[in-house]
Amino acid sequence: MTATLEVRNVSKTFESDNGDRIQALAPANLGVKQGEFLSIIGPSGCGKSTLFNIIGGMIPPDSGEVIVNGVSVSGPHKDIGMVFQEESTFPWRTVLDNVAFSLEVAGMEKKERLEKARHFVELVGLTGFEHHFPHQLSGGMRQRTAIARTLASEPRILLMDEPFGALDEQTRLLLGDKLLKICDALKQTTMLITHNITEAVQLSDRVAVMSYRPGTIMRTIDIELPRPRDSELISTDKFAAYVGQIWEDLRTEADRGMKAVGEA
Amino acid sequence: MAQTGMNPRLRRQVLTLQVLTPVVLVILWELIARSGLLYEGVVPTILEVASAFWNEVSSPELYHHFGVTLMELFGGFTIATLIGVVTGIALGSRPFVSSVADPFLSSLATTPKIIFLPVVMLIFGIGPESKVALGALGGFFPIALSTMSGTLNVRPVLVDVGKALNLTRWQMLVKIYLPSLVGPIIRGMRLGLGVTIIAILLGEIKLSNAGLGFLAIEYYNTFHIASMYSILIIIFLTALSINAVMSYISQRFDRA
Ligand SMILES: Nc1ncnc2c1ncn2[C@@H]1O[C@H](COP(=O)(O)OP(=O)(O)O)[C@@H](O)[C@H]1O
Ligand SMILES: [Mg+2]
């Protein structure tokens, strides 16, 4: 159950409170193939979340369109599952009830939905924590709960906005391994937004590099590393070469970003 | 009440003082009553109050008035809660409207509700209905204000999770807004309950034909001072128990 995703000429300009116009996205073009894992990498503030929100139908683009399986879509779409950058578990629900949320609102019967939710809890490695509340879990476990909640709605395209952004490096690598296993199992079309080069290379079939504001896709790089992968990969020469190559592209953009922030 | 976080020695001292305070007060009362410094009628002896208290609790009349006050409280507080929560959510989910409404609500919230008594009386008469209305009016403002600010502060990302799943407006309300608002609503209810109790008792004392407040003022007017004190004690104990129940509920459900 996968699909293709295409972003065609999508642009967005925000008007800030003091009337300044911030062009967050210059016309951006991008295609994600069936079952492909694509990462989008770019410096902070380059419009990654804006692109994520437009693809997910949370905000409308000023121009261009989002195409799922050849059909132009607007607004939230059931084929697209979103994992947000911010912590998004429901604090009043247990892990299991969080994961069952999308099934519950879709009207699935209780027994059936809990059974299904259990499967996804297991998939993200949280078995034994079904009846814990989010505040009893670590940040990484909460983020896995959020991922399982999105997976449980069985979207054909999985969109994730820096899901591991707030975690420490070790947790991030281990969760990356977990995510690799899940993706190998689900063979799902996935788009991951990140500002972490290691993470992008570790997980992706292809990495798209974004420029600093106004954000646009500068180039994409195929990551030809064998699958199944795990975090041991990061000590290989080939891995280092990819990281170097992406950093080369990102460097000038990150620099522009730093200067822009410094000036502000 | 003694705080649970305290060290045992300190907690014992607090408890001892808490038990001693009423004992000392009772002794002081008795001494003043017997000293002859004040009119006998103003400060009856403990024995007189105790026997009046006993007379009250063994007469069916008390329970009639007690029932009237409880029903007024229940009615007024229920209405305050329902309308307060609905208003709070309706205003809070529209930031523009809530910033327009906020100064009005806030200033009305601090206005003593007793000034509305004449209006309420004209509309509802002197029976329990006007006390229910006054109590509802009093409890409404803290509940609406707390719910409104809670609604404004519902985490946007949780609303986004609902949007991404195409939730209906009703699902949005029941599955995302209301659970997020449990804390603010309960905190508003705690404040509102106090105001409702005051408003209803004031209403009963000012103008009514039943209820504990009415009974107290009746005894005052007919110079049955010991009986009046015993009604005050009953009012005090009732408010204390209601407050204890509310505290329990808020500790149980408000995790914030
Ligand atoms: N709702 C908004 N209103 C005004 N400016 C916004 C809004 N959302 C994002 N921006 C601006 O657009 C730019 C891109 O933001 P974002 O897409 O969040 O970047 P990223 O996710 O890459 O860090 C930033 O400069 C940000 O301040
Ligand atoms: Mg972002």
Where exactly are the structural domains of chain A?
3-79+157-263, 89-154
CA distances from B216 to B46, B148, B227 (A): 18, 37, 8
Task: Mark residue A69 as left, alpha or beta (left: phi above 0; alpha: psi -120 to 50; beta: remaining).
Answer: left
Nearest to A153 among B165, B182, B255 (CB): B165
Cα separation of A253 and A250, whole Å?
A: 5
Does the residue B16 lie in any domain? no
CA distances from B190 to A50, A59, B206 (A): 42, 39, 25
B230, part of any domain: yes
B254 close contact with A: CB closer than 8 A: no
Q: How far is the CA of B143 from the centre of ligand 1 (A)?
A: 36
Specify the residue with its C-alpha closest to ligand 1, atom 11.
A24
Q: Is A63 helix (H, G, I), strand (E, B) or coil?
A: strand
pLDDT reading at A67 higher than 50 = yes
Chain centroid, CA B204 distance in Å: 15
Q: Does A44 touch chain B (CB under 8 A)?
A: no
* Between residues B68 and A167, the one the model is more confident about: B68
Give all strands of the β-sheet with A5-15 in edge-to-edge order: A21-32, A5-15, A63-68, A71-73
Please state, in angstroms and rounded to a whole number, the distance separating the CA atoms of residues A188 and A168: 26
Q: Using a CB–CB cutoff of 8 Å, tell me whether B158 touches chain A.
A: yes
The sign of the dihedral angle between the CA atoms of B151, B152, B158, B164 is positive
CATH assignment of the domain containing B161 = 1.10.3720.10
Ligand 1, closest atom to CA A51?
Answer: 17
CB contact under 8 A, B157 and A92: no
B7 within a domain of the structure (yes/no): no
Question: Residue B2 — very low, low, confident or very high, per pLDDT cuts 50/70/90?
Answer: very low
Share the mean pLDDT of chain A. Answer: 90
Q: State the closest ligand 1 atom to the C-alpha of A12, by its place in the atom list counted from 1.
A: 12
Judge if the beta carbon of residue A45 lies within 6 A of ligand 1. Answer: yes
Protein residue with least CA distance to atom 5, ligand 1: A14
The atom number, within ligand 1, closest to the CA of A52 reads 17
Per-residue pLDDT tens over the stretch A235-253:
899 999 999 999 988 888 7
The count of structural domains within chain B is 1
Of chain B, the percentage scoring pLDDT greater than 70 comes to 96
Residue B150 exposed, middle or buried by CB count within 10 Å (0-12, 13-18, 19+): buried
Q: What is the pLDDT of residue A249?
A: 87
Which ligand lies nearest to the CA atom of residue A40 in the structure?
A: 1
Tens of pLDDT, residues A70-129: 899 999 998 999 999 999 999 999 999 999 999 999 999 999 999 999 999 998 889 999
Q: Which of residues 169-208 of B touch A (CB under 8 A)?
A: 171, 175-176, 179-180, 182
User: Into which CATH architecture does domain A3-79+157-263 fall?
Assistant: 3-Layer(aba) Sandwich (3.40)
Could you tell me if the CB of A214 is within 6 A of ligand 1? no
Averaged pLDDT of chain B: 90
Query: Can you give the residue range of the structural domain that contains B146?
Result: 66-253
Nearest to A90 among B158, B160, B164 (CB): B158
pTM above 0.95, yes or no: no
Angle between helices B46-57 and B225-253 (to 10 degrees): 70
Q: How far is the CA of B187 from the centre of ligand 1 (A)?
A: 35
ipTM summary value: 0.91
Residue B21 within any structural domain of the chain: no
Q: Is the pLDDT of residue A185 over 90?
A: no
- Rounded to a whole number of angstroms, the distance between the first and last alpha carbons of chain A is 46
> Is A263 a residue whose pLDDT tops 60?
no
